[in-house]
Amino acid sequence: MSLSVPNDLLDQARAGEVDDAAFVACVRDSLPYAWATITALVERRDRSGADFADNQVPPPDETARGQLLRCLASDAMRGALERHFGVRLAFQNCHRVAVFRPEATDAYREFVTPRAQILNQSPELVDC
């Protein structure tokens, strides 16, 4: 299961729309490694003023890796985090998360190209 959903949030979903802040809190609490990684990247990008910041350090274990994969593979989770942080997220391999300023379209487009994906490959990441 991707998320540990509190009963009140489950009731909210059954009744209609889910509050974005409550959903973001659920993601934060359910996927702490993914949350911490993305939060740190947002802070680093904000401090630097750069178009983007990315993580190139593999997760410490499979549980952490799974959190990143679940978080970034979900359109709902990714979209909620993008709205919450005011960034655009991108993902390569099993750990290279990047946060972009929304207006950094050139940097984002380059990051998500097949060329960038291929250049980011390494033998130790083949089976991550």
Helix axes 20-30, 75-85, angle to 10 degrees: 110
Phi first, then psi: what are they for 90, rounded to 5°?
Answer: -140, 160
> What three-state secondary structure class fits 53?
strand
Q: Which residue has the higher pLDDT, 116 or 79?
A: 79
Q: In what order do the strands lie in the sheet with 52-54?
A: 52-54, 96-100, 88-92
Structure tokens belonging to residue 102? 């929304």
Can you give the pLDDT at residue 116? 65
User: What is the distance between the alpha carbons of residues 60 and 82, in angstroms, rounded to a whole number?
Assistant: 24
Confidence band, pLDDT 50/70/90 cuts, at residue 96: confident
Instruction: Show the DSSP H helices in the chain as ranges.
Output: 7-15, 20-30, 32-48, 62-73, 75-85, 105-111, 114-119
Structure confidence by residue, pLDDT tens digits, 12-60? 999 999 999 999 999 999 999 999 999 999 999 999 999 999 998 889 9
Can you give the pLDDT at residue 117? 67
Beta strands in 13-118 (DSSP E): 52-54, 88-92, 96-100
Structure confidence by residue, pLDDT tens digits, 102-111? 998 888 888 7
Confidence band, pLDDT 50/70/90 cuts, at residue 128: low
